[in-house]
Homo-oligomer: A and B are copies of this chain.
Amino acid sequence: MLGTCLENVREKSPLVHSITNYVTVNDVANAILAAGASPIMADEPSDATEITAICSALNINIGTLNSRTVEAMFSAGKRASELGHALLLDPVGAGASTLRTQTALKLMREIRFDVIRGNASEIKTLALGSGTTHGVDADKADAVSDSNLAFMAGFVRNFARSTGAVIALTGAIDLVADGETCYAIRNGRPEMGRITGTGCMLSGIMAAFVAANPGNVLEACAASVCVMGLAGEIGYSHLQAHEGNSSYRNRIIDAIYNMTAETLEGGAKYEVLR
């Protein structure tokens, strides 16, 4: 079933509009292409609102937000919502500054997101109004582990229920939940945290997966998380001696590009908690 989600992306090649930060935007575009979809970026409000109309997904990422791009996020977000597009929020750095936290919360109030994807600190900030943070990385105190798995799965399901969105809380163990069902996913490698943009790339492809699998948002999100984590494992296995985080970034995108439904089905490591 996860493999079918990937095949649908390849077959439908949805056009994904991203309003995203300029740090990792190139990797986001190449990751979306690697997954089989098409990227487009526009962040001037009038342009973004018109461009989003020809797409089938909108990926809003608040890293390096500014007053102009925030305006674009709201106007394009409302337009995409009216058109029934797949809508994803990546609240980069929520909890690290007032502007980021308040922008994410206001976006959630005014726009119906299909998915909210962030690290543990970002999701806690949005759910509880507070959270610790280490810049754009999650604080260790917030991590999902075997010892708090049941509790955190419940927390994520509750937040999904209250927002009406699928929640994807990603880290060493990834949780992807709607109000009833939670996938706990154990793909990936710790070295992915030494590359900038793995979270941003995941959000980009997740938006494509949701667009290509309407009516099956939860599984589409879980499939994209498995794709990213498994690509991290495969990319790592191809690293040569002396290679480091820059080559690893390339090899992860390459692994998404070469991922097949069979590889995904065979390599996905998850359990379903209800």
Please report A residues at the B interface, Cβ cutoff 8 Å.
15, 21-27, 29-30, 33-34, 38-44, 46-47, 50-51, 54-55, 63-68, 93, 96-100, 133-137, 194-197, 234, 238, 242-247, 249-258
Smallest CB gap from A234: residue in B:
B242
Known: A22-B25, A97-B50, A99-B44. A33 touches B195 (CB 8 A): yes
Contact for A258 among B39, B244, B251, CB less than 8 A: B244
Known: A33-B194, A244-B254. 17 other contacts (CB 8 A): A23-B41, A26-B26, A30-B196, A30-B245, A34-B244, A38-B135, A39-B196, A40-B136, A42-B93, A44-B67, A51-B93, A51-B97, A242-B254, A242-B255, A243-B251, A244-B253, A244-B258
| 7 A-B residue pairings within 8 Å (CB atoms) | A26-B197, A30-B196, A40-B96, A40-B135, A47-B97, A51-B135, A245-B254
Copies in the complex: 3
